[in-house]
Amino acid sequence: MQADVVAAMKWAWNGYRDHAMGHDSLDVINMNGTAFSDHDLAISLADSLDTLFLLGLHDDFDDAATWAEANLPHKFDGPGKVSLFETTIRVLGRIKLGAGGDSYYEYLLKQWVFSGKRQDRYRDMYETAVTGIMDKLVGRTKKSGWVFLGELEVNGDLTPKMDHLVCFMPGMLALGYMHGMPSSHLDLAKALGRTCFEVVMSSA
């Protein structure tokens, strides 16, 4: 049964790759790519990445990830309408640090470590993510001076709101430091750990 599932996914992916690569979906009647809206965001590709990886189709995953890294950012340029539902759950669903996306970031680090530090792509993606977090999301509470990771709005404003699930970050950052990441990562880990401790204690 497991082999049948892998074979079915491989068959479906090959059809998409050969006839609709980079498009939202495959029109199986005309055998070409189609878009769900004004913007063609390669939704099928983005939504298939984790499935390809989990099923062990690593060559296909690498090809898709390489394409996404090189081309997906440009898909967002220009005017037009998009499906908020499809875009959020399939393309943007894993960019939050709290509920809905937290594990993505730690798995970048762990995948690099578990590969014997040979798969440098994951290290680079992790470092890029943490650099963005430190540059864009770090704030301090006005009264107590606790460090938190806020949420970045579309207009660039930082909303001072941190999910409790963001408290996985201190452990992730400390693990990264143990494997050669800069000391600034450990400094942020300590500060966030303190914030999480204080929040729990103040609500006890």
pLDDT tens sequence across 73-130: 777 776 667 665 667 667 765 455 655 555 778 889 999 999 999 999 999 999 999 9
- Decide: residue 97, CB within 10 A, 0-12 exposed, 13-18 middle, 19+ buried: buried
User: What are the boundaries of each domain within the chain?
Assistant: 1-93, 95-204
Task: Name, in order, each residue with C-beta under 8 angstroms of 188's C-beta and a sequence gap of 6 or more.
Answer: 134, 138, 147, 169, 173
Alpha-carbon distance of 115 to 125, in angstroms, equals 15
User: Residue 193, exposed/middle/buried by CB under 10 A (0-12, 13-18, 19+)?
Assistant: middle
Lowest model confidence (mean pLDDT) among 43-52, 124-133, 155-164, 183-192: 155-164
pLDDT at 93: 56
In this predicted model, what pLDDT tens digit does every residue of 42-62 receive, in sequence order?
A: 889 988 998 999 999 999 999
